[in-house]
Amino acid sequence: MNKQLNKIPIFFAVDDDYVPFLAVALKSLIENSSKKNYYLIKILYTNISEENQEKIKKYEKGNVNIEFVDLNYYIEKVKDKLYTRDYYSESTYFRLFIPDLYPQYDKVLYLDSDIVVLSDIAELYNIDMGDNLVTGIPDGAVQTIPVFQDYVEKVVGVANYRNYFNAGVLVMNLDELRKFDFQKKFLYLLETVKFSVAQDQDYLNRLCKGRVKIVENVWDTMPIPELKVKEEDVKLFHYNLNYKPWHFDNVLYKKYFWNYAQKTEFFGKIQEIKNNYTEAERFNDMEMGKKLIELAKKECDCVGDDRRHRLRGVYTQYKEYRENRESKENRESKEKSRDRLDILEKIKVLEKEGKFDVDAENDPPTITLTPDDVDYLKIKRRSRIKNRVANRMGEKFLDEIIKTNRLIIKEIKGIENLENMDSGAIITCNHFNPFDFFAVEKVFRLSGQIEKRKLYKVIREGNYTNFPGFYGFLFRNGDTLPLSSNTRTMIEFMKSVKTILEREDFILIYPEQSLWWNYKKPKPLKNGAFKLAAKNNVPVLPIFITMEDSDIIGEDGFPIQQYIVNIDKPIYPDENLSEKENTEIMKEENYQVWKRTYEDFYKIPLEYTCDKDTLENIS
């Protein structure tokens, strides 16, 4: 080793399963290293195979040394004290033992393995940290999710959530940490306090608060759009929590990960991991993220808010800061939500007038759809190709809106009623959001029916002919069945419905025939869906989605709704009745199912503001 080179001690902590991603992190770090530095890389582990160690050791070069450090003997002493949950493992605590394990170092870098480094990591190491215990970067999830902000301030005890750092990218001042008697205090805290949300990260923030050098988030940029980081400025990407390119397609900044992944001998293994990752596992990942938010909220509810009892000057400054921030957010929300407020007022008027089948928002203009304009069954080769592309795009978009909490499915009730369907069927659902059909699509996929059936969606003519951009492409080329004001086209529509149901596929229809934004009540139903079911002798499967506010504020300034998808038992036509009789009976039974679900969930009777005569005329 050249003694003139600057030594940069760098620590990772991984197990065998994470070695492929460690390889990507190391590849990026080494490619962006400087010849002026000597990088001493220590990999803390308890279970990494000899084969994987040998593969990683091949990354060594003149100014890069890699050493594997077996911590089994050390963890054995304290393992009974290490609290773990969900995807956390004992290895998450390894960084907390570094000060005592390495008395020869005054300062080290600790890095998670789910990262890509785009600049010389020595730049971060060399930032002057004074006598602070750590240099850290604000945690991206905490900076963008209000319930986490309350959690770190009320439960963890960090005065200002902006100073709560992510533990995956750290410069540790070992000299000061030893003077602080950090490990002894950490083990004491482990025995007396159980942090259940971020665990080791919470302990680090609790112990180090007030002695943290905060640096800009270009050194720990998470794939969270709300962070609004200039991509060209980023020095390190951190694919933490559920933002894994090897699990999900729609991960922001994924190109950087795959660029370095393909340069490693683990590339095939990583692709295999992604290809074998199931929809159920992805759904569970998203559910885990939601549960983490719920857990943080419960933790907040279990403690008092002692922030109000601080010294008057400090409290006043903090209060002013929060009020200013809330005032700014309120102003932005008011600007964004004015349109939604107008829609809500219009819905009140429409309900009072009994115009339940009128959309509360303006539809795109309609161009008459002729038989030549639509290939319902995708018979033409060009139509089939576009259909495959649209379905792939739709699936990726569905994953994205679930991941970014634009669509939140809190619970699914009665999924067995969908799982057990063994024939074609008409699926009915209430219509209150442009994304609600994605909720039905997600449930359809989770039920396993996608393995043998397709789900078609009946849409308006204007959505097919005149909707612009990405959504327009999905409407025109996905598994959709547009209605039409042209009689000949509707004849083709009816033929196609018959064929689809004979193939035992499903068709989603909104029998309310209108979209009222976030309207919770079931509206009076139209005959169309039930007439198609009776005509084709297939059941109707009623789905009614109830909703409640989440803790997340949408771009419109309103809380994003979290959905409870209620799937009832199928309603079958009676072979002894006429088509007209079955239509009326199935429609009424569907309505009563929805009404019962509404009243059971919201604990109030279903009532409308229009007068009884108007309602009876509609019925």
DSSP letter string, 576-615:
TS-HHHHHHHHHHHHHHHHHHHHHHHH-S----SS-HHHH
% of the chain surpassing 90 pLDDT:
60
Q: What is the mean pLDDT of the chain?
A: 87
564 in the same domain as 477? yes
Which position has the token pair 């309609």?
366
Quick: pLDDT tens for 387-445. Answer: 999 999 999 999 899 988 899 999 999 999 999 999 999 999 999 998 888 999 999 99
Quick: pLDDT tens for 241-297. Answer: 888 999 988 888 999 999 999 999 999 999 999 999 887 788 778 777 788 888 888
- CA separation (Å) from 219 to 57, 140, 210, 283, 391? 26, 11, 21, 30, 37
Cβ atoms < 10 Å from Cβ of 292 = 22
- CA separation (Å) from 571 to 393, 503, 563, 568? 33, 19, 23, 9
Cα–Cα dist 306/254, whole Å: 41
Q: Is 575 exposed, middle or buried (0-12, 13-18, 19+ CB in 10 A)?
A: exposed
Show the domain range for 367.
Answer: 340-618
Whether the predicted pLDDT of 59 surpasses 90: yes
Angle, helix 381-403 to helix 469-477, in steps of 10 degrees: 130
Task: List all residues 6 or more positions away from 230 whose beta carbon is below 8 Å from its beta carbon.
Answer: none
- For position 318, what pLDDT does the model report? 38
Cα–Cα dist 575/595, whole Å: 26
Looking at the domain assignment, is residue 527 inside a domain?
yes
Domain-ending residue, one of 280, 301, 322? 301
Q: What is the mean pLDDT of residues 462-479?
A: 83
189 in the same domain as 140? yes
Looking at the domain assignment, is residue 457 inside a domain?
yes
Q: Please say whether the beta carbons of 18 and 113 come within 8 A.
A: yes
- For position 306, what pLDDT does the model report? 53
DSSP string, 531-553: HHHHHTT--EEEEEEEEEEEEEE
Q: Report which of residues 51 and 332 the model is more confident about.
A: 51
Domain holding 438: CATH number?
Answer: 3.40.1130
Q: Which residues of 387-416 are buried (b: 16+ CB within 10 A; e: fewer)?
A: beebeeebbebbbbbbbebebbbbebebee
Among the residue ranges 184-193, 417-426, 432-441, 514-523, the one predicted with the least confidence is 184-193
Whether the predicted pLDDT of 346 surpasses 70: yes
Looking at the domain assignment, is residue 400 inside a domain?
yes
Cα–Cα dist 223/315, whole Å: 33
260 in the same domain as 407? no
**Which one-letter DSSP state was computed for residue 523?**
P
Give the torsion sign (CA, 586, 589, 593, 594). Answer: positive
**Left if phi > 0, otherwise alpha if psi is -120 to 50, otherwise beta: which for 310?**
beta
Quick: pLDDT tens for 106-128. Answer: 999 999 999 999 999 999 999 99
Taking CB atoms within 8 Å and a gap of at least 24, the contacts of 469-474 are 470/393, 470/397, 473/390, 473/393, 474/390, 474/393, 474/394, 474/397
347 in the same domain as 279? no
558 in the same domain as 427? yes
Looking at the domain assignment, is residue 103 inside a domain?
yes
Q: How confident is the model at residue 500 (pLDDT cuts 50, 70, 90)?
A: very high
How many domains, in total, are found in the chain?
A: 2
Cα–Cα dist 220/356, whole Å: 50
- What is the residue type of 350? L
Give the torsion sign (CA, 312, 315, 317, 322). Answer: negative
CA-based nearest residue to 139, from 117, 112, 120: 112
Q: Please say whether the beta carbons of 409 and 442 come within 8 A.
A: yes
Looking at the domain assignment, is residue 308 inside a domain?
no
Domain-ending residue, one of 240, 270, 301? 301
360 in the same domain as 292? no
Domain holding 54: CATH number?
Answer: 3.90.550.10
Task: List all residues 6 or more positions away from 80 whose beta carbon is below 8 Å from its beta carbon.
Answer: none
Q: How confident is the model at residue 46 (pLDDT cuts 50, 70, 90)?
A: confident
Cα–Cα dist 9/11, whole Å: 7
Task: List all residues 6 or more positions away from 509 whose beta carbon is below 8 Å from its beta carbon.
Answer: 426, 427, 428, 458, 528, 529, 532
Looking at the domain assignment, is residue 321 inside a domain?
no
Cα–Cα dist 479/503, whole Å: 14
Domain-ending residue, one of 301, 327, 352? 301
pTM above 0.85, yes or no: no
Q: Please say whether the beta carbons of 598 and 521 come within 8 A.
A: yes
Q: What is the mean pLDDT of residues 326-353?
A: 72
Whether the predicted pLDDT of 315 surpasses 70: no
364 in the same domain as 512? yes
346 in the same domain as 295? no
354 in the same domain as 294? no
Whether the predicted pLDDT of 186 surpasses 50: yes
346 in the same domain as 266? no
Q: Please say whether the beta carbons of 204 and 171 come within 8 A.
A: no
Looking at the domain assignment, is residue 570 inside a domain?
yes
Whether the predicted pLDDT of 163 surpasses 70: yes
273 in the same domain as 372? no
Cα–Cα dist 217/231, whole Å: 11
344 in the same domain as 297? no
Angle at 503 between CA 499 and CA 506, to 5 degrees: 90
Looking at the domain assignment, is residue 320 inside a domain?
no
Q: How confident is the model at residue 154 (pLDDT cuts 50, 70, 90)?
A: confident
